[in-house]
Structure 1
């Protein structure tokens, strides 16, 4: 089996989301979902890949983590991304 950065996806309540992505990125997501569904399983819907990929990207971005720890990156509060007061 191909070693991928994402493991099996946790069951989660679906959330309606609208996003436009380039066709090449969509093809890559379809291919990734096909590989994640192997061996013998059904392919994973590309929509289900977006959130885990973004979470993984943010979780493994050392520069972002360092900036956040040092207070350089604003923490999201209730859907906003305004900086915290000094």
Structure 2
């Protein structure tokens, strides 16, 4: 079993955004969706549903972004 970074998908109210992906990125997204479906037991019929959780995961784990955000919001970084 692979250890995917992306967990189960939530059902949240979406905001429509249009993006263009290079063909190789889209093929990787389709492949990821297939593997994700096998791992979670919840097949992803529309690979684009993975984009928002992937971006959210990326943002949540970006240390530089989170540090800058804390500084912007007036919170001092942890020592």
Question: Do both share a fold (TM > 0.5)?
Answer: yes
Aligned to 1:9: 9
Unmatched tracts of structure 2, length 5 or more: 74-79
Distance 1:31 1:61 in 2: 24
Give the paired residue count: 72
User: Deviation of residue 43 (structure 1)?
Assistant: 3.6
Aligned to 1:37: 37
TM-score by length of 1: 0.71
Is the helix fraction higher in 1 or 2? 2
Aligned to 2:55: 54
Unmatched tracts of structure 1, length 5 or more: 73-86
User: Deviation of residue 65 (structure 1)?
Assistant: 0.5
Deviations 1:53-80 (A, max 9, x none): 11100000000101111118xxxxxxxx
Query: 1:60-79 counterparts in 2 under 5 A?
Result: 60-71=61-72
TM-aligned CA distance change 1:14 to 1:69, over 3 Å: closer
Distance 2:14 2:49 in 1: 9
User: Deviation of residue 2 (structure 1)?
Assistant: 1.3
